[in-house]
A = this chain, B = another copy of it.
């Protein structure tokens, strides 16, 4: 094949190989048998599958293909920036800056057209302004609910996060996946009843 085509594929493969490192980025929450923490690669898979099976709860007209692509790449910047625990106020002060710099590097490995396209898709996820990015973010939030519920409170219990902060964190579901909001409230109520979550509301 011509040299230019080869170079293009070389960049793509280099990018895809570097993604392997996301399998070694450990989140705070556990897998459900609580034997270990969850990594960001398997987490990304889980929420993409969730989007497939819960798409009926997104606002009509939401483009699921776009949602899937967004979810599959939303965490790749953690290869450089690491996972930032959502309730860690100090770490969140410079999170945006660290992650944007990482995005420049990582998407920069790709051929220019793809670097531009997928960096924009990552920005869209982060900005939470489109129906697709709101639904995608809702999946990200909704998964933690049942990971924590199924691991005796998981990160809420570990870090004494009260219900008011969880509600604030989950609020994107109201607009991103309105059909799931009742389920969010239900899981939180059951978590409080089970003693997994402190009710400060």
Contact = CB atoms under 8 A, between A and B. Distances in A.
Interface of A: 1, 9, 12-13, 15-17, 19-24, 31-33, 35, 38-39, 41-42, 44-46, 48-50, 52-54, 57, 64-65, 68-69, 72-73, 76, 110, 114, 118, 146-147, 150, 180, 182-183
Contacts of A1: 182
6 contacts: A21-B32, A24-B31, A24-B35, A41-B45, A48-B72, A64-B65
Contact of A114 (B23, B35, B53, B72): B53
**Count of this chain's copies in the oligomeric assembly:** 2
A146 B19 CA distance: 12
Contact of A183 (B9, B17, B42): B9
Contact of A41 (B35, B42, B54): B42
Given A54-B12, A68-B65, A20 B31 contact: yes
Instruction: Name the residue among A1, A52, A150, A182 with the largest chain B CB count within 10 angstroms.
Output: A52
Contacts of A65: 64-65, 68
A48 B50 contact: no
